[in-house]
Amino acid sequence: MEKKILIIEDDADMCEEMAEILRDEGYNVAMAFEGLSGNKLLEENEFDLLLLDLKLPGMGGVDILKKLRAAKKNIKVLVLTGNVIVNGLEGGMNDVDAKAVLTLADGVVMKPFHVDEVLKKIQELV
């Protein structure tokens, strides 16, 4: 069965490039370039994995992650972020949000990242 992945990322070039790579790997991929439309896709569809940026227009990634976990949807979440998150402390977002990401996400990959690193994490999660 083909695994379904949703990418919510406001960098359209990066999002489209990642989607193309994942499709070549055999995944069914949907994309959203801002938080509100990404959240709507999550509410209306079932996905196996969410690749989630944290800084998004409309609705932030931390809010999406909290809402998703509150809804108890069975989906793995891999956060793609430029924020530095180490042991619950970070730069660029408040400590509560950093701890939420570390607690609620299934994995975190720092930007800039190597595609192989993301593919390895995806294979581990799905």
Q: How far is CA 5 from the centre of its chain?
A: 9
Q: Give start and end residues of each alpha helix (H) in 1-126.
A: 12-24, 35-44, 61-70, 95-104, 115-125
At residue 88, the pLDDT reads 45
Distance CA 104, CA 64 (A): 11
Identify the structural domains of the chain with CATH numbers, from first to last: 4-125 (3.40.50.2300)
3-class secondary-structure state, position 4: strand
Distance CA 55, CA 58 (A): 10
Q: pLDDT digits over 51-106, tens only? A: 999 889 999 888 999 999 998 888 999 998 876 554 444 445 556 667 767 788 89
3-class secondary-structure state, position 25: coil
Q: Looking at the whole model, is its pTM more than 0.75?
A: yes
